[in-house]
């Protein structure tokens, strides 16, 4: 990205709870500094009126860097030649809904998103998937966007990463920003493995890195049990207490993920958790899954940190979350089988490709373009 040019950012699900909290972070300069920003806000037709209201509020904020706000129900208009796409819009889990039904509904949406990205986005576009099931939605989108490098995609586990840092900081009675290199492994779901012990450290004033494994040596029961379940179930707990999902922290984590990935990079020796396409079989995890790993970011790219030595306990946890992701991929694959350009995944139907006109009807033809 050219540091002076307008940064064009598309946000799907922009009128939803996370969208409402995320958009000001993108428009205010929090992520991209004083670079001019153009926003393309994508929604489904019934949310278009609410979106028009958000556009009014954005105008009223008088953000100095915000050059334009385009509201649309057409993913092609939203994604054309943008630099960044944040996919927040998805089909919500309803009471009594099976996980496979959730995957089915979202696979349709993310098939459409992926194809639109493929058809109109620049090959340099960077895509962050927030909507759940985030890892598998990301896999579907990058599979369909075959002309865009898979390295340009990631799914959000940065919120889980921040939750893990905060829990360790509370346990040790220290400030959160001193806790580095905790890792969320695997899926953004209850099967994830929040790991403080493998690479985590406490950064002292003098720059010395004290391993969390030694600081928590007398607290291993906590680090391998309570800590893990607290982070895994934090989203559910917030809903119970707040009566609504964790939109504020999810928006903040989305903004911080984009900023670290695309603007600042990680500090030397530091990692953040990002769910990325595993084309290398990192840590023995099956190739072809979008899996959360410890990542370093530099010059707009992520790199999985390799060479960490995982305990037997950690390996067992990785297998659990890997299995869930394989099941999700299997469920999505059945739906993708008509188009199925599944990267790293052999499918008998993988050669038959659906045309983009077919794909538009996939989402019940509900998109209509409307530039407000
Ligand atoms: N990865 C994470 O860490 C994380 C954390 C919290 C929430 N989430 C997920 O983020 C998603 C959004 O959460 P929310 O609280 O904002 O939900 P929300 O229901 O308030 O908003 C979702 C918005 O998406 C829109 N939408 C639905 N289908 C769309 C489509 N095909 N195209 C464009 N927009 C569409 C809806 O109209 C709605 O405005 C959910 O899937 C949620 O589970 C992820």
User: pLDDT tens for residues 217-234?
Assistant: 999 999 999 999 999 999
**Is the pLDDT confidence value at 95 over 80?**
no
pTM tops 0.90, yes or no: yes
Q: What is the pLDDT of residues 311-331, one digit of tens each?
A: 999 999 999 999 999 999 999
Ligand 1 centre distance from Cα of residue 355 (Å): 27
Using the atom order of ligand 1, give the atom closest to the CA of residue 18: 16
Ligand 1 centre distance from Cα of residue 361 (Å): 21
CB pairs under 8 A, 24+ apart, for 311-318? 311/197, 311/198, 313/224, 314/185, 314/193, 314/195, 314/197, 314/198, 315/284, 317/185, 317/186, 317/193, 317/195, 317/228, 318/185, 318/186, 318/193, 318/283, 318/284, 318/285
Please state, rounded to an integer, the average pLDDT across all residues of the chain: 90
130 is in an annotated binding site: yes
The two structure tokens encoding residue 370: 């409307």
**Is the pLDDT confidence value at 364 over 50?**
no
Among 12, 13, 139, the mutation site with the greatest number of ligand 1 atoms within 8 A of its Cβ is 13
Q: Which residue has the higher pLDDT, 356 or 338?
A: 338
Using the atom order of ligand 1, give the atom closest to the CA of residue 13: 24
**Which residues are identified as catalytic?**
188
Coil, strand, or helix at residue 370? coil
Share of the chain above pLDDT 90, in %: 85
Q: How confident is the model at residue 338 (pLDDT cuts 50, 70, 90)?
A: low
Asked if 305 and 295 touch (Cβ cutoff 8 Å), the reply is yes
Domains and CATH numbers, the chain: 7-155 (3.40.50.720), 158-323 (3.90.110.10)
How are beta strands 183-185 and 193-195 bridged, if at all? antiparallel
40 is in an annotated binding site: no
Asked if 231 and 198 touch (Cβ cutoff 8 Å), the reply is no
At residue 1, the pLDDT reads 62
Contacting residues for 290 by C-beta, under 8 A, at least 6 apart: 135, 136, 138, 139, 142, 153, 154, 155, 275, 276, 277, 278, 325
Q: What is the pLDDT of residues 234-269, one digit of tens each?
A: 999 999 999 998 999 999 999 999 999 999 999 999
Contacting residues for 168 by C-beta, under 8 A, at least 6 apart: 179, 182, 196, 200, 212, 216, 227
Ligand 1: residues within 6 Å at CB? 12-13, 15-19, 42-44, 47, 88-90, 92, 109, 130-132, 134, 156, 159, 188, 245-247, 250
CA nearest 308: which of 217, 201, 205? Answer: 201
The ipTM of this complex is: 0.99
């Amino acid at each position: 990205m050219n540091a002076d040019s307008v940064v064009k950012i598309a946000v799907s699900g922009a009128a939803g709870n996370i969208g409402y909290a995320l958009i000001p972070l993108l428009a205010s300069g929090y992520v991209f500094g004083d670079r001019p920003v153009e926003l393309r806000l994508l929604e489904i037709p019934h949310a278009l009126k609410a979106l028009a209201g958000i556009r009014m509020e954005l105008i009223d904020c008088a953000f100095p860097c915000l050059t334009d706000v385009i509201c649309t129900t057409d993913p092609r208009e939203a994604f054309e030649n943008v630099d960044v796409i944040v996919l927040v819009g998805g089909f919500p889990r309803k009471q009594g809904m099976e996980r496979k039904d959730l995957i089915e509904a979202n696979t349709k949406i993310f098939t459409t998103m992926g194809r639109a990205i493929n058809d109109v986005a620049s090959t340099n576009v960077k895509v962050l998937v927030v909507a759940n099931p985030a890892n598998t939605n990301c896999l579907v989108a990058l599979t369909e966007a075959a002309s865009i490098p898979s390295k340009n995609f990631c799914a959000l586990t940065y919120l889980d990463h921040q939750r893990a840092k905060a829990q360790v900081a509370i346990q040790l009675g220290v400030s959160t920003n001193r806790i580095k290199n905790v890792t969320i492994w695997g899926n953004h779901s209850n099967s994830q493995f929040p790991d403080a012990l493998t690479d985590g450290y406490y950064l002292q004033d003098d720059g010395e890195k004290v391993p969390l494994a030694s600081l928590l040596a007398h607290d291993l029961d906590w680090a391998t049990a309570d800590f893990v379940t607290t982070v895994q179930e934090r989203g559910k707990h917030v809903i119970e207490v707040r009566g609504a999902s964790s939109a504020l922290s999810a928006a903040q984590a989305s903004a911080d993920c984009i900023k670290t990935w695309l603007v600042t990079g990680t500090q030397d020796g530091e990692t953040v958790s990002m769910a990325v396409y595993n084309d290398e079989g990192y840590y023995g995890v099956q190739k072809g899954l979008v899996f959360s790993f410890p990542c370093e970011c530099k010059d707009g790219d992520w790199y999985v940190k390799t060479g960490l030595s995982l305990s037997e306990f950690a390996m067992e946890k990785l297998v659990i979350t890997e299995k869930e992701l394989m099941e999700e991929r299997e469920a999505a694959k059945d739906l993708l089988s008509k188009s199925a350009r599944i990267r790293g995944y052999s499918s008998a139907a993988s050669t038959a490709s659906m045309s983009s006109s077919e794909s538009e009807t996939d989402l019940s033809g509900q998109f209509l373009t409307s530039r407000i």
